[in-house]
Structure formats: C-alpha cells, structure tokens
Structure 1
C-alpha cells in the first residue's frame, strides 16, 4: 500500500476548522504565531527554572487576549469560540500560560466586570486588559478547597469600613498581582472585595518546589486586620453564586485549553514516531504505535467537537453549569491520558524537557484538580442526572 501524507494537525481528521468562522480562525492563527515566536522557544527553560515571564504580560495585552471575551473597558469583546481557541493555543505551549490568561480575564477581570461598580471597572479593567496590571482571585483556602461555602476568611463591618482576616491558598498570580479579588464570609453572606497590593496587613507568599505549573506563580494570600473602605466591596456580588459564576467562566477556557496540551503532545509523538527508527523502520509504522496514535486522535477530536458545541451554547446564552462540568471533566481527562501515552511513544527520551508531553502531563495534573476537582465535576453531573445532591 502506498503511504499517504501525514496530517499536520490531528484535528484535521474531522476537518474541525470548517466548523469555525474565518474571524475566529484568524484570531487563533495570530495567537499561535505570537506564541511560536515569543514563548515556545523559552518555555522549557522557564518550566525548569520555575520562572514566570512577567515581561510577557504587556505583550499579551497588546495581543488582546486578556479579558478578550468581555466587552468595553479596553476588552476585545470576542466570541466564546474565539476565546476558547485562544486558550487552546496558549495551553498548547504551557498550561501555566493559559492559567495566567484565564485567571486574569475570566476570574479577576470578570469578577469586576460582572459584579463591580462603575468606578471599580473604570479603575481596573483597562489596566488589566492592557497588561499594565495583574489580577488574582482569592477563593480557595488552606482548609476549604472544594467547600467554599464554609470558608474561614471573614470580613466584619467597622463603621463605614470592613476589617478582613483570613488566608487563601493555591492562588495563581497571587505573588505578582496588583489587585486581588478576595471572597469572604460576612454577616450578610459571602461577599467579594478588591484588595490592592500594598494594603496594610495584606501579604503574599509564593509556593515553591512545585512539580507542576512551574512557569506560573502560585501563592498564599494572608490578611491580618486588613481595613478596606466599603468602596472596595463588589456591590453586585451577594452570595456564593458570584464566585461560582466566575469559576464557570474560567472552566470554559480550561475545557478548550486542555485540548491544546493534548494536541501538542500528540504532535510531538507523531514527529518522534516518524523519525525514530527501530528494526529498520520508523516506529510510526508499527501496529501498536498506530493504535496508540489513533486512539489519542479520536479522543482529542471528540473533545474538540464537544468544546465547539459548548461554545455555541455559551454564545446563545443557554449554557448550564453541569454542561461546563462535562466539558472540563471529559477534556482534561482526555488530555492527561494523551500526554501520558505520548510519553510512552517517546520512550526514555520522553522524560527530557526537550520534548513537551511529560511537561504537559505534569501541568495537567494541576488542571485536573483546580477550579473543581474531577470528583466535584463528576458529582455535579450526577446531581443533574438524578436530582440528588451527593455533596452532603
């Protein structure tokens, strides 16, 4: 049988690009080209040295990816599909980079855009969109990850001010953020507050010795009698539903982004399998290797079709939280399995940072956990199916 030409992109199997509009394809191509030029040549070194390239942030602002799915205040106002495809390209380089963009745009910026006052929006959103300022999102606590309703961080009224005490853990961008959206329990329920860096009593401590997300800043936030004016409170955030709404925005980016890590891993394995000669032939010609490659391609293409379907639901204003949970649950699982399997095709070379799959797999271990663990999303889907909550 005459060999056929290999595909450049695993998603070409189902001609998935034909399901995307021209403007969205152009945005995706622009983001990919920028990353290929400015980030991909350096990412392995940044991962090895646990370096977050802060100088890249204004460039991401110029690229227009910070809060790109929001409207006004310097934001690009793109479609959900365009945002998802940008996240895919970002995570194809490294999950830490996509995580920065997700936290900046879908958590820090979205919390202000959706729940903030006009004064708060004018003060922060243009700077955050331009990459002139960095934001973070303080919800997870050392003892309260999957159960934020029982958070220990508390804000109490003191005259016209608030006094904030507590701690947040595993906060992406925390150590470099200029402003933190912090969620706290109050006598009136859970409320959000904007806490600028330098506010007395507000300190951060970066988490070191990470085996995952090494090119990303992860921090603990501490609040000791932090005095805030009432103008720091997000006026439209009146319950736990507010931070959970922000998380759904970020999870949407993740369900696209994880597929980028999977695609990059599969492309690395395809290139390697075609060039690695064993028993006088490329290993890409062996049946066991082809089965691995075919299974991975089917999994990623299925995940991509799911993502595009969810994007259409989001653009129509019809997406539900359990549908986002299905996307994150399926696609992160798939991408992690693909990255691990690709490492096996690379053999011993797969443990080297010269090749991306094991770096992607390490990062995806964090993606599987944050913004809703695999277990939590499983229970969200289970509750949607049965009408019964298994959380308590």
Structure 2
C-alpha cells in the first residue's frame, strides 16, 4: 500500500485542554485506525472496538455536559475532532457524528431524571446510538412519516419501518421519531428505544458504493413496546426536536466532508511530489500545481465556514442557515476535490491500491445524508427570503 502524505492540520484551538484532545485523537488515529483503514473498508468491517475506545477516552460525548459524562467542549472543538477522525476513516467520523446526533434529543429535551439515567452510558459508557427519522417513503419529506406509536396504558407501542439508518443493527439505542397524532409535523413524538426491545429488528445492511464499514439498514418495529418514561419531550414536539438535532448534525457532516477532502489533498500532494514524468517531478507542471492549489483553497474555505457556524452555535446565536450553508458547501467541495485527486493520480487514482478512489466514492454520500444538498439550498433560501416564501 503506497504511503500517503498526510500531515497534521495546523489548528487554532481555544484552550490547552482542546489541544490535548486533538493530540489524543491523532494518537488514536495513528495507532488504531490508519494502519488498517483500507483493508477494513474493503472488507466492510465495522470498527466497534474503535468506538468503544473513543467512548472510554471521552471522545463520544464531547459537546455534552460534564455532569452526565460529557466533555463540556464547544462545537468549535468537537467538530475539529470529527474532521480528524473522518480524514483517517469516514466510517469513524460519520459514526461519531451520528452518535452525537442520537444523543441530542435526550440531552436537549429530556427531563433531568431521564438524562441522569441514560446519558452517562450513552456519552461515556460504551453504548453506541443511531437516529431514526427517514422512512422508505419519507426521506426529504420527513413530516410525512408513517411509523406510528399508539398509547397503551403507561406504554407506547411502535409499528412501522425506518430506512437509511446508520448503525442500524449494531447500535445499542435508537432515537426514534414516530407519529402519535394528526398528519404532518405537529403529530410526531420522539422516543428512546433500546436495541434489544422485543419486536425491533434490522434488515440486511444496504450495499453501498462507499462507506462500506458503516452499516446502513432498515429497522422494523413490530409491536415494539416502550414505557412512557422513554418518551422525549412533549407529545407532538418530536419534529421540532428532530429539526434542532439536524441543524447540529449538518455541521458534523460538514466537518466530515472537510476531513475527506483534506485527506484527498494530502494524497494528491504526496503523489505530485513523488511521481516523475518527462524527466522531472510532475509537481513542476503548472497545470497540476494550480489544481492542487484550488483543492487546498476549497478545503480551507470549507473549514472556515463550518467553524464560523459552530461559533455562532457556541454563543447561543441562530445558526441554522449557516449550518445548511456549511453542509452544502463542504460536501460539494469534497466531491470536486476527491474527483480532482483521482484525476491528478491518473490511472493510479482509479485503482484501489491508492485511497483516492475511496475518497471519491465516500464524498458522494455526504451530499445526500442529513438532508440532500437540494434541501440545504431550500433551507438557505427560505431563511434569506423569510418564512412566508416557499
């Protein structure tokens, strides 16, 4: 396997603790992820042991309160951790973002008793989460969901199917959005469902063009009974909870996209410096140098955009439009950058002996998950033009 030219990104972090966290992440990457990443992705191996290590190290609960086992870190820091993980292996970066998304509803809208009971295990106890919003017939139109939760005494009984669930079948808990009332957004409620609840099963994982180590599967709910104590927020509040989580989740995907793009730039730079044609390094050819410069510029622009949105979030300001912009720009840029990396490597870029082709396949999904980039454009335009615009 050719050696890549990955170099640590120079970061401007707010505290010494944050700098120590990044050092810890880079150590985990070098010891536990990087040595076998290509083989693991080709074999579609899910890195459960890596997620267990991240949990024990306090890296799966960074943006949540310390009193419940979190790291009390700002999003500005958390997202840079996600970027580092995604640059090493997107399966781990996306998995960390999805787990954080799955914890968001309980951390933000759960009662103090619910948080005290469940969050420590979710944030630092080795448990891994998944987020269940999409369905086979309701993806972008999430408010059209059909999965239903019916009240039965002190319990709720959930029936239906969720689709495109990252960690489907391997997670320990699922944050589930289900219809409890009228049609539309007002009739949706959130629940925290343990993976071993009777009646809950996962289909065979989807066969995807990339991100092979991260299982994506349908989940079937057949009379899944959960107590009312596992309802998160008020009845009918679920869609608002889901949207709040997605604003933050989009920043996670933006950071993942920048991570993949940075890895592609590093790979392209190393190849340009080592490959010789016509008696000299191909890095001497201006056309290729300009391509690399454009790729690196897009990475820096994307990183600045997601960090600016994160700082708005950290200071309690509205950040939904900026999160949509970051997800849109960073994932589109990652697609362009990884495609250019394959082109720069020529025939080598089209082989699985080099990671460039994997980066290109992985970048594609980032334009789709957490709301397609067409949806992001709708979010941005609606915010610019006012709520009365459609």
Q: TM-score, normalised by structure 1?
A: 0.92
1:64 paired to 2:58: yes
Question: In the alignment, is the contact (CA less than 8 A) between 1:10 and 1:297 conserved in 2?
Answer: no
Unaligned stretches of 5+ residues in structure 2: none
Q: Which runs of 4+ in 1 moved over 4 A?
A: 7-12, 18-22, 388-391
Q: CA deviation digits over 1:145-176, x for unaligned, max 9?
A: 00111101111112222121111011011211
- Matched with 1:300 is 299
- Matched with 2:83 is 88
Q: 1:116, CA displacement in angstroms?
A: 1.9
Q: CA deviation digits over 1:339-383, x for unaligned, max 9?
A: 110111111111233322221221121111010101000111111
The whole-number CA distance in structure 2 between the counterparts of 1:128 and 1:253 is 18
The whole-number CA distance in structure 2 between the counterparts of 1:258 and 1:70 is 23
> For residues 269 and 194 of structure 1, do their structure 2 counterparts lie closer, same or farther at Cα, with a shift above 3 Å needed?
same
- Matched with 1:144 is 138
Q: 1:121, CA displacement in angstroms?
A: 2.0
1:283 paired to 2:282: yes
- 1:41 alignment partner, SS class: helix
1:108 paired to 2:95: no
- Matched with 1:206 is 204
Q: 1:61, CA displacement in angstroms?
A: 1.0
- Bigger shift: 365-374 or 227-236? 227-236
- Matched with 2:255 is 256
Question: In the alignment, is the contact (CA less than 8 A) between 1:310 and 1:319 conserved in 2?
Answer: no
- Matched with 1:121 is 115
- 2:262 alignment partner, SS class: helix
The whole-number CA distance in structure 1 between the counterparts of 2:251 and 2:124 is 22
- Matched with 1:365 is 364
Q: CA deviation digits over 1:85-140, x for unaligned, max 9?
A: 101101101221111111112x2111111122333323322112225212111101
Unaligned stretches of 5+ residues in structure 1: 1-6
1:78 paired to 2:73: yes
> For residues 239 and 182 of structure 1, do their structure 2 counterparts lie closer, same or farther at Cα, with a shift above 3 Å needed?
closer
- Matched with 1:134 is 128
The whole-number CA distance in structure 2 between the counterparts of 1:47 and 1:179 is 24
1:28 paired to 2:26: no
Question: In the alignment, is the contact (CA less than 8 A) between 2:288 and 2:344 conserved in 1?
Answer: yes
- Bigger shift: 266-275 or 173-182? 173-182
- Matched with 2:380 is 381
Size of the aligned set, in residue pairs, is 380
Q: 1:222, CA displacement in angstroms?
A: 0.5
- Matched with 1:45 is 39
Q: 1:275, CA displacement in angstroms?
A: 0.4
- Bigger shift: 309-318 or 135-144? 309-318
Q: CA deviation digits over 1:9-42, x for unaligned, max 9?
A: 5966xxxx34755443332232122112110111
Question: In the alignment, is the contact (CA less than 8 A) between 2:61 and 2:124 conserved in 1?
Answer: no
- Bigger shift: 370-379 or 123-132? 123-132
Root-mean-square deviation over aligned CA pairs: 2.0
The whole-number CA distance in structure 2 between the counterparts of 1:243 and 1:375 is 19
- 1:40 alignment partner, SS class: helix
